[in-house]
Amino acid sequence: MPDHVKRLLLVRHAATSATRAAAFPGDEPIEDGAAARAAAVGALAPSGGSVVCSPALRCRQTAEAAGLAFVTDPRLAESDFGAWAGRSLADVHGSDPAAVAAWMSDPTAAPHGGESLTDFSARVGEWLDEQARADAGTTLAITHGGVVKAAVVHALGAPLEAFWRVDVAPLTATELHAHDGRWTVTRVNCPVEAADEHPSAFAGRSGAAA
């Protein structure tokens, strides 16, 4: 990869109780045993690059389990789910299906009292645009599924409705490259263990592109 390209690795945090329950997250820790798997994230750390992390506990614990030194950026936080935080999607849908339908069909809706998809995506997009203008090299970001999905949609210039069609599992990496301020989506939802098991799966791993 040319050395004038900005490379961004977006890693979703390790699994939590909310992840397993398909619940809207609060600020819960990673689940028991997840730290061992999270250690694989360390193989993606850019030598001479930077590591940035959502301020959420689950993201900081993922970075710490990987032995990474990082700075936090609030723009990498998950969407604010307001009154739905801690509740499962099935529970919310059972009590107020109209609110869930509105939330999933109207990007400007925020029936939970938190952020709308429009506002959330604008926040992530601002950060991504800043990254595209940054110096060449590699940035590793430990963040959330929603942030990764919003970043992919923004990078592609796709409509916000495409947000619901991107899959991002815990401890997977999504790779974006920016050249002259324009993003290319290189890979999505790739298990971080591939960095150890199949080094060629991540071009420029361990800072070769930093």
The verdict on whether 115 is a catalytic residue reads no
Helix and strand numbers (H, E) in the chain are 8, 6
Catalytic residue among 4, 13, 154, 161: 13
Which residue, 171, 132, 168, 169, is CA-closest to 149?
Answer: 168
Q: Could you please report the per-residue DSSP string of 76-96? A: GSPP--GGGTTSBHHHHHHH-
Q: Report residue 172 as tokens.
A: 């997977």
Which residue, 145, 134, 149, is CA-closest to 170?
Answer: 145
* 12 residue type, one letter: R
The verdict on whether 28 is a catalytic residue reads no
Distance CA 79, CA 37 (A): 25
C-alpha distance from residue 205 to each of 52, 89, 97 (Å): 17, 36, 44
Distance CA 153, CA 166 (A): 8
Catalytic residue among 4, 28, 78, 177: 78
Q: Which residues are catalytic?
A: 13, 78
